[in-house]
Structure 1
Amino acid sequence: MEYLDLVDHVSEISLRLFMYMLFLWIDSQHPFIRHIDEDEMWMYKYPAVPPIIPKNLLFVLIILIPSVIFSVEYALKGRKEDIIKGVYGITLAYALNAILTVVLKLFVGRPRPNFFMRCFPDGYGVDINNCTGEYGGHMDGRKSFPSAHTTFAFTGMFFMTLRMYTLLKIHERNRGQGWRCVLCVLPLVIAVLIGISRTCDYNHHYTDVLFGSAMGSCIAYCTYYVYFPERDQPLDNKQTTL
């Protein structure tokens, strides 16, 4: 799959711009207002604390880590078309994940563990249909399922794990295989830590994170093998450079 034609680039970029605009429009809609019984209110009364991994840091990680890996791949292989395919693949994965995540958040309307404190910042209140907190804050508090941090982390990191699995030739016995395996798994470790952090700062339930990890991994798997259906040469193969 070569990307040497201008039409190919225009098609790929315009698709991502369209999906981004679609995401912005969907994200501006109101979530489903789910009824909350009194006997289940305890699940949503956890404290509202600052996130362990802020949104800005998340996006830095899911952009920086793939950029570093792609840069190393290009330095060792010199195959520009592989880098282009990788960039198009992971950006499409992010776009698909963003739209699916926000659609699920709106349709499910599950309250976050700290929803009560978003609704009543002073800690006092009875009628959750008449929140006294900031409107945007308590409406976002109804978008717990799935965890967007987790879906984005696993989409990007699992995509890069698949790429490293191929490049490092993990499926064959080679010198330093143990080190290669560790390098291959590192992106997934980062994704797992990001997902766990969302339960530690009371922004998500465990099921939000578990579903988000599975969803992000599935999206990454599908998009990776759309752009890399063939078996690539390993990094140490000298005949792959152009």
Structure 2
Amino acid sequence: MPPFRGLEMSSGLLFDILLRGFLGLLFMELERAEPFTRKIHIDELWLYKNPRTDSYVPTTVLWPLVFVFPIIVICLTFLVTRDRIDFYQATLSVTLTLGLNGVITDVIKLIVGRPRPDYYWRCFPDGAMNTEFDCNGDPALVRDGKKSFPSGHSSFAFASLGFISLYLAGKLHTFTLAGKGQAWKLCIFLIPLGIALSIALSRTCDYHHHWQDITVGSTIGILLTYLCYRHYYPPLDSPVCHKPYSALISQIEIESIKGSKGEQVKWI
């Protein structure tokens, strides 16, 4: 039985790796796809004539924060606990979260095709609009200008930093009886969420998103990270919230085997 069991685990791990690779490749393809071109009526043009500004949180800052920071937290936790199972399960959880978030967010962007608040100036850099609304701006900027809903910055920020909040809360037992009355644990849980919220709100300040975009994007990110985290870890109010399900299952099986051996000795 053990050899077959090991083969099954290896196959499952291989599938997990291939799934995340597929999600990553699909995300990159979707990033280059052309979104739906939505008709803009004259009476709503004011929504898309905000000035063009640089991002307060550019992608050169966002991507390292989103992809590297969770791995740093997981690695630091491993250095303290030396728990390899937790390291693997946490990595699987956050990578699944980010992969699903990227694909789902981009699919919605492409289907909806909502113009950004600064779309007019992307479309007509010289300010001279034609009656057919045929854009003469940089095609890449125009294409990106039709991907306002939902906010990718917001969804990725809450997917990544939201995972960190859940992960640290589980390790510190923030919401169990052991963590009650310890404000510093609650603050550690809230800090990553506060950073994610700041990133999301900055997207309205630099006129790259409407408020509805960041609301829906943030909701997508936090829901996906909670779903994927709970797929690998128990509820945060559980006494064993610091352990992944795979470790708990192994522990139960070991105790079951010991119990069976004990019963056999008893009857000999």
* Long gaps (5+) in structure 1: none
Q: Report what 2:22 is aligned to.
A: 18
Contact 2:179–2:185 under 8 Å retained in 1: no
Q: RMSD between aligned alpha carbons?
A: 2.3
- Aligned partner (choices 176, 185, 197) of residue 192 of structure 1: 197
**Mapped pair 1:45 → 2:49:** yes
Contact 2:114–2:148 under 8 Å retained in 1: yes
Residue identity matched to 2:53:
V
Distance in 2, matches of 1:4 and 1:226, equals: 19
Contact 1:109–1:145 under 8 Å retained in 2: yes
CA 176–68 in structure 1, closer or farther in 2 if over 3 Å, else same:
farther
Q: Could you tell me how far 1:234 is from its partner in structure 2?
A: 5.0
Residue identity matched to 1:43:
L
Q: Could you tell me how far 1:159 is from its partner in structure 2?
A: 1.2
Q: Report what 1:181 is aligned to.
A: 186
Identical columns (%)? 34
Distance in 2, matches of 1:55 and 1:86, equals: 24
CA 22–233 in structure 1, closer or farther in 2 if over 3 Å, else same:
closer
Residue identity matched to 1:221:
Y
Distance in 2, matches of 1:3 and 1:75, equals: 29
Q: Report what 2:155 is aligned to.
A: 151
Q: How many residues align?
A: 235
Contact 2:109–2:149 under 8 Å retained in 1: yes
Contact 1:114–1:202 under 8 Å retained in 2: yes
**Mapped pair 1:77 → 2:81:** yes
Contact 1:110–1:144 under 8 Å retained in 2: yes
Q: Could you tell me how far 1:10 is from its partner in structure 2?
A: 1.9
**Mapped pair 1:88 → 2:92:** yes
Task: Find the residue that maps to 2:107 and give its secondary structure.
Answer: helix
Q: Report what 2:104 is aligned to.
A: 100
Task: Find the residue that maps to 2:126 and give its secondary structure.
Answer: coil
Q: Report what 1:204 is aligned to.
A: 209
CA 128–108 in structure 1, closer or farther in 2 if over 3 Å, else same:
farther
Contact 1:155–1:217 under 8 Å retained in 2: yes
Q: Deviations over 1:14-47 (max 9, x none)?
A: 1111122222333332211111110100010011
Distance in 1, matches of 2:126 and 2:113, equals: 23
List structure 1 runs of 4+ shifted beyond 4 angstroms.
2-5, 173-176
Task: Find the residue that maps to 1:131 and give its secondary structure.
Answer: coil
Q: Report what 2:170 is aligned to.
A: 166
Q: Which has the higher contact order (CA 8 A, sep 6+)?
A: 1
CA 112–175 in structure 1, closer or farther in 2 if over 3 Å, else same:
closer
